Amino acid sequence: MRTKVIGYYNSKFGELWNKSLADLIDEAIAGVLQSVRLARADIDAVFFGNMLGGILENSLFNSALIAQIMETTVPVYRLEAACASGGLAFQTATNYLKSNKNKTVLVLGAEKMTDVSVERATEALTAASAAEEQIAGLTFPGLYAMMAQVYLHQYRYDEEHLAYISVKNHYHGSLNEKAQFRKTITVDKVLASPYVAYPLKILSSSAISDGAAALILTNDPVRVKSSRSAVDVLSSEVATDCLAIKNRDSLTELYATQVAAEKAFCEAKIKRNRIDVAEVHDCFSIAEILAMEDIGFWKRGEGGKKAKEMSTQLGTNQRLVVNTSGGLKAAGHPVGATGVKQIGELFLQLTKQAKSRLVKNAHFALAHNVGGAGGMAVVSILAV
């Protein structure tokens, strides 16, 4: 049978100074198993997204740590694809379920980032850029700042257009009790915040976060029947692009997103205008604008104008609501957890568990997770 998501749990995202990476993993596993009333022994395989454990904590090989926590000998796959690690873990799990019948698997994403300075964490994130870019002094925010500069210049927008993305996502974050930032902000406040890398400001940028998220996927009819709620995975596709942005034809498009989205819609056999709710990768405000254009929700160059219209904010009676979790910006961006949280947020939406941020009558949902500055993109489509 078609793969279904039957359970989701995420920890609070934020600066969780009293929790280690192992604590976060432990909490997410216990939480998601409890939510679906399954035991550790019911899980046939684990897919784990984590980026920085090795660099920041000298703790690689968390697959065996997970096996230890789960008291299991089943396969545990750790996937690393920078900020797309969680999305890739989900995608790899869907691959696994295509060739293994009647299985139930755990998809886990976790990151512990706040035990080091923001500078050290940013340096580690920059691990996702090419050697020649690191040597030139480019940081991870610097790469997206260059894309933002070209975009604003090419389509004649200014920093105000970018600011609306953050305002919208903070509003959504204010409705999500697990979000790192729960205060609403204004365009003026975004514009008054200090630059991180021109034209991107503190309030244009996702934060350094701790957190974990977990999903239960199954293609076992017995498990589906006994589950409280289930959503179909219509497709999950991944595409890659060159690592160094200097090697790309365009700085205002992420080609990996375009390819992954095209494949995902093709596989799901639905049109773009059917999507009711989406989580897209907004590590910086410019990233959400590019994502909306690259996925094909907005026309090329239209993003600045569309962002200002706030049409993707909850309650505007528009067709498509974007980043109801608060996105990376307000929900927080514990890197390996992000792609898993995106799927989880859509699960909550499609199963009507999203409380005050519920998008009513949502039937189709899309998640979009990006690695680095566009070297990889994972696009997944869910439905009820």
Question: Which residues lie near a second copy (CB under 8 A)?
Answer: 20, 22, 51-52, 54-55, 57-61, 63-68, 71-82, 88, 91-92, 95-96, 98-100, 123-124, 126-131, 134, 238-244, 247, 255-256, 259, 371-372, 375-376
- Residue 199: is the preceding peptide bond cis (ω within 30°)? yes
Give the nearer residue to a second copy in terms of CB position, either 113 or 179. 113
Complex with a second copy: residue 120 or 182, whichever CB lies closer? 120
Residue 187, judged by CB atoms within 10 A of its CB (0-12, 13-18, 19+), counts as middle
Measured from the CB atom, is 123 or 232 closer to a second copy?
123
- Contact criterion met (CB below 8 Å) for 368 and 252: no
DSSP for 64-133, written as a single string? HHHHHHHT--S-EEEE-BTBTHHHHHHHHHHHHHHHSTT-EEEEEEEE--TTS-HHHHHHHHGGGS-HHH
Tokens of 181: 């930032």
Which H or E element spans position 350? helix 335-350
Q: How far is the CB of 100 from a second copy (least distance, A)?
A: 8
| Structural contact between residues 92 and 106, judged by C-beta atoms closer than 8 angstroms | no
CB of 245 to a second copy, least distance (A): 10
Task: Out of 161, 170, 281, 333, pick the active-site residue.
Answer: 333
The CA radius of gyration of the chain, in Å to the nearest whole number, is: 19
> Shortest distance, CB of residue 168 to a second copy, whole angstroms?
29
Q: Is residue 170 annotated as a catalytic residue, yes or no?
A: no
Residue 287 or 348: the one with the smaller Cβ distance to a second copy is 287
Q: Is 333 a catalytic residue?
A: yes
Of the pair 52, 113, the CB lying nearest a second copy is at 52
Q: What are phi and psi of 153, to 5 degrees?
A: -70, -45
Instruction: Show which residues are catalytic.
Output: 83, 333
